[in-house]
Amino acid sequence: MSRGVVFSLALLAASLSMLVMARPPSSQSAPHAVGSEACKDCHQDQWQAFQHNPHARAEMDQAVVADQVGCESCHGPGSAHVEAGGDRSDPGFASIRNFKTLSAKDASEVCASCHKAGEQFYWEHSSHARNDVSCVQCHSIHHAKNEGAGPMLTASDVNHLCITCHKDKRAALARSAHMPLREGSMTCVDCHNPHGAPAARMIRAATVNELCYKCHADKRGPFLWEHPPVRENCLNCHQPHGSNNDKVLAGKRPYLCQRCHVGTRHPSTLYDKPDLLANRLFNRSCTNCHSQIHGSNHPSGKYFHR
C-alpha cells in the first residue's frame, strides 16, 4: 500500500471523526418550522406588512414554490428562536436567518432559491452580485418605500435607488439635455437589468445599439447609405445619461463632427467667433443640412442631405 493511499485513508478517517464529533448533542433537536402565526405576536409590524406583500399570496401556492413557506421560507425554521422567547443570550435566538447580519452572497442566495428565472437568470454573474450588493440592499419585503407599483424597493423609486451608489449618474441626469428619468417617465431599469444580463453594463440587449433601437427603432435601418460609426455604437456620439449638448450629444456640433471629419471644403473649417453668423455653426450646425445623419434611404442621400 503506497504512502499516498495510507495518507488519504488517514485524512478520510480524520474527517469522518471530526464530522461525528461536530454533530450536535442528540438532546438538542434541530430547529424546525413552526409556521408564520408564531411570528405574529413579537413581529407584528413585519407580519402585518407581509400580509400586503405578493409573497403572502405565493405562500398559498405551495405546489410551485419552496417547501417552506411564509416567514420561515426566508428566515429559516423558527422553533428554536420561538423557544428562546426573546432572550438574546439563548443560542436558539440567533438560529434564524437575520438578513442584517448575513453576508451579501448568503442573503441573496435565500432570494435566489425562488427567483432564479426570467429577470434574475444571470444574477450570479451580475456586477452587483460580484461586488457584494445583495437583494436586500435594494428590496425590502417588510418596509418597501414604493408600495404602489414598484418591486418592493428600499427607495421611493428606481432612479433614486440607483443614484444612491451611482453618484456620478445623479449629476449626469441633472444636465440640460437628458432622457426623461428625472421626470419619472423612464427609469434606469428600462435600459439596465440590475439583476444581471449577458452584456456589458448589464444592459437589456446584446449590444448598445440593439438597446437603443427598442425605443428608437426608426434608426435601426439598415439604410442604403450608412454612417458607419452610427451603425457600430450609438455611444460614439451620444451620452445617454445626460449631456450639456442638444440631443444628449457627447460634444457640441460642429466640433463633435470635426473630430472625425477634417476633410476638404467646409468640414475642416475653423468656426470661431466671426463665424457665429454661419449656418454651419448656428442652430443645429452640421445637421442643419446633413439631417439624415443616422443613415439615409434616399438614392441621393450619400451625404445625408436627403
Contact 212, 234 (CB under 8 A): yes
Region near other proteins per CB under 8 A, out of 41-49, 89-97, 135-143, 171-179: 171-179
Determine which residue in the list 63, 86, 89, 101 makes contact with other proteins, applying CB under 8 A: 63
Q: Which is nearer to other proteins, 43 or 169 (CB)?
A: 169
Closest approach, Cβ 253 to other proteins, in A, equals 8
Restricting to residues 220-279, name those near other proteins by CB under 8 A: 220-226, 228-229, 231-233, 236, 244, 246, 251-253, 255, 258-266, 268-274, 276-277, 279
Using CA atoms, how far residue 43 sits from 72, 142, 151, 195, in Å, is: 13, 11, 22, 30
The set of cell numbers assigned to 123 is 444574477
State the Cα–Cα distance between residues 77 and 69, nearest whole angstrom: 10
- N-to-C CA span, the chain: 86
Nearest CA among 261, 231, 263, 230 for reference residue 247: 230
Does 101 participate in binding other proteins (rule CB under 8 A)?
no
- Total residues at interface with other proteins (CB under 8 A): 111
Restricting to residues 81-100, name those near other proteins by CB under 8 A: none
String marking each residue 41-60 x if it binds other proteins according to CB under 8 A = ----------xx-x-xxx-x
R_g (Cα) of the chain, nearest Å: 29
Region near other proteins per CB under 8 A, out of 17-25, 37-45, 113-121, 137-145: 113-121
- Three-class SS of residue 243? strand
State the Cα–Cα distance between residues 205 and 199, nearest whole angstrom: 7
Closest approach, Cβ 279 to other proteins, in A, equals 4
